[in-house]
């Protein structure tokens, strides 16, 4: 069990309102990701769930039981941080087992649980090493192992991959996804990286300035962003956002078109533009155009040759444009 309900959580530090009323439900076994720009309140919310920070108002319920006044150690939660926070003088084995030892578990049980976690994380060959003798990726696996041995109902991860290099990030991401399938535990994971969110989550919670902008599956957020912020935040390269008035659509403050939903032609199309820059990514070609109303990013699959200053015509795919009103909300078709 590990369901979570957050009701109207607010948090202020002095006069600064950091969380402005957060409501959210997380089902048992779900993998939920909080994503949003740096400073939007993700860590604060996670720390309130963990009990490391007190909410100014609102309620946190785990499995239907209010835990606002329950100390962190009694909430059935394990948290993994960006910095691994391992004890340098302890071996990998002892780092992983320390929490259980402090909780007074028998040595046999600690040994057994450490063994299971170490096998899951491919750490068997490193159990006698000290943290200083491990790579960054291995250290983060030890920190995850330390969480697993506690058999929590709820795992909380705060940007656990941010200190790893790009290749290791992808590997560790796959490992966390596998762990989630294996453990069937509820996981809440914070990241500022929308790609990480899109690849891991059952459910993404997009946060901005202390509020939830939208909750949905990765494909719901990609296909049906409800706000201008979500439209711009999810997807890479970023969605083109064009002043509606410049397209003869004054009812729309912004018209959004994803770069992959624009086709180009040398001879004809909706909009004329000239090439400013071309990026050859191998699998994709990204073309930056300047039209007379706005810059436009186009993403074509595969390799294409275009020259800077070349004239191209761009045409948006039918039915794949989004319109937003002056309150930054989607205008329903």
Ligand X SMILES: Nc1ncnc2c1ncn2[C@@H]1O[C@H](COP(=O)(O)OP(=O)(O)O)[C@@H](O)[C@H]1O
Q: Which residues bind to ligand X, rule: CB under 6 A? A: 13, 18, 36, 38-44
d(CA 114, CA 105): 12
d(CA 10, CA 267): 56
Pick one of Mg ion, ligand X, none as the site partner of residue 44 (Cβ within 5 to 8 A by kind).
ligand X
Q: Shortest approach of ligand X to residue 180 CB, angstroms?
A: 21
The gap from C-alpha 83 to its chain's centroid, in whole angstroms, comes to 17
Give the Cβ contact number of residue 104 at 10 Å.
6
Secondary element (H or E) of residue 184: none
Q: Shortest approach of ligand X to residue 34 CB, angstroms?
A: 8
3-state secondary structure 288-320: EEEECCCEEEEEEECCCCCCCCCEEEEEECCCC
Pick one of Mg ion, ligand X, none as the site partner of residue 150 (Cβ within 5 to 8 A by kind).
none
Q: Shortest approach of Mg ion to residue 42 CB, angstroms?
A: 5
Shorter beta-carbon distance to ligand X: residue 19 or 254: 19
Residues in 207-246 at the binding interface with Mg ion, rule: CB under 5 A: none
Shorter beta-carbon distance to Mg ion: residue 43 or 140: 43
Pick one of ligand X, Mg ion, none as the site partner of residue 78 (Cβ within 5 to 8 A by kind).
none
Q: Shortest approach of ligand X to residue 207 CB, angstroms?
A: 7
Shorter beta-carbon distance to Mg ion: residue 43 or 114: 43
8 A C-beta contact, residue 179 and residue 31? no
Largest CA distance in the chain: 77
Whose structure tokens read 């200053």?
Answer: 309
What's phi and psi for 191, nearest 5 deg?
Answer: -155, 155
Pick one of ligand X, Mg ion, none as the site partner of residue 216 (Cβ within 5 to 8 A by kind).
none
User: Which segments within 159-305 are labelled E, that is strand?
Assistant: 186-191, 203-208, 211-216, 240-243, 254-257, 262-265, 271-280, 284-291, 295-301
Shorter beta-carbon distance to Mg ion: residue 45 or 62: 45
191 binds Mg ion (CB under 5 A): no
Shorter beta-carbon distance to ligand X: residue 3 or 208: 208
CA distances from 45 to 3, 55, 190, 305 (A): 16, 9, 10, 47
Residue 70 CB contacts under 8 Å (≥ 6 apart), including other chains:
51
Q: Shortest approach of ligand X to residue 85 CB, angstroms?
A: 16
Q: Shortest approach of ligand X to residue 21 CB, angstroms?
A: 15
Pick one of Mg ion, ligand X, none as the site partner of residue 35 (Cβ within 5 to 8 A by kind).
none
Pick one of Mg ion, ligand X, none as the site partner of residue 41 (Cβ within 5 to 8 A by kind).
ligand X
43 binds Mg ion (CB under 5 A): yes
8 A C-beta contact, residue 213 and residue 229? yes
The gap from C-alpha 182 to its chain's centroid, in whole angstroms, comes to 21
Pick one of Mg ion, ligand X, none as the site partner of residue 39 (Cβ within 5 to 8 A by kind).
ligand X
Q: Shortest approach of ligand X to residue 18 CB, angstroms?
A: 4
User: Where does this chain bind Mg ion (CB under 5 A)?
Assistant: 43
């Amino acid at each position: 069990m590990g369901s979570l309900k957050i009701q109207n959580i607010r948090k202020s530090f002095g006069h600064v309102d950091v969380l402005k009323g957060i409501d959210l439900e997380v089902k048992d076994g779900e993998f939920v990701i909080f994503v949003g720009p740096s400073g939007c309140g993700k860590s604060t919310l996670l720390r309130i769930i963990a009990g490391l920070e007190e909410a100014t108002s609102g309620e946190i319920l785990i499995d239907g039981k209010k835990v606002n006044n329950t100390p962190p150690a009694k909430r059935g939660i394990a948290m993994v941080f960006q910095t691994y926070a391992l004890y340098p003088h302890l071996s990998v084995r002892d780092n992983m087992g320390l929490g259980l030892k402090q909780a007074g578990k028998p040595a046999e049980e600690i040994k057994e649980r450490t063994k299971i976690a170490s096998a899951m994380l491919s750490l068997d060959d490193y159990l006698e090493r000290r943290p200083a003798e491990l790579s960054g990726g291995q250290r983060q696996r030890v920190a995850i192992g330390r969480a697993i041995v506690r058999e929590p109902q709820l795992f909380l991860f705060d940007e656990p991959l941010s200190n790893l290099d790009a290749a290791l990030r992808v590997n560790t991401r796959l490992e966390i996804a596998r762990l989630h399938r294996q453990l069937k535990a509820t996981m809440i994971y914070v990241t500022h990286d929308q790609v990480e969110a899109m690849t891991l989550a059952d459910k993404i919670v997009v946060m901005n300035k202390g509020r939830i902008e939208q909750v949905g599956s990765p494909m719901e957020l990609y296909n049906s962003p409800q706000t201008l912020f979500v439209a711009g935040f999810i997807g890479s390269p970023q969605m083109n956002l064009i002043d509606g008035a410049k397209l003869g659509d004054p009812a729309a403050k912004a018209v959004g078109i994803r770069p992959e939903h624009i086709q180009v032609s040398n001879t004809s199309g909706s909009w004329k533009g000239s090439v400013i820059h071309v990026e050859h990514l191998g699998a994709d070609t990204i073309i930056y155009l300047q039209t007379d109303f706005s810059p436009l990013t186009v993403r074509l699959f595969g390799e294409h040759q275009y020259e800077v200053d070349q004239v191209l015509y761009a045409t948006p795919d039918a039915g794949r444009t989004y319109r937003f009103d002056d309150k930054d909300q989607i205008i329903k078709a």
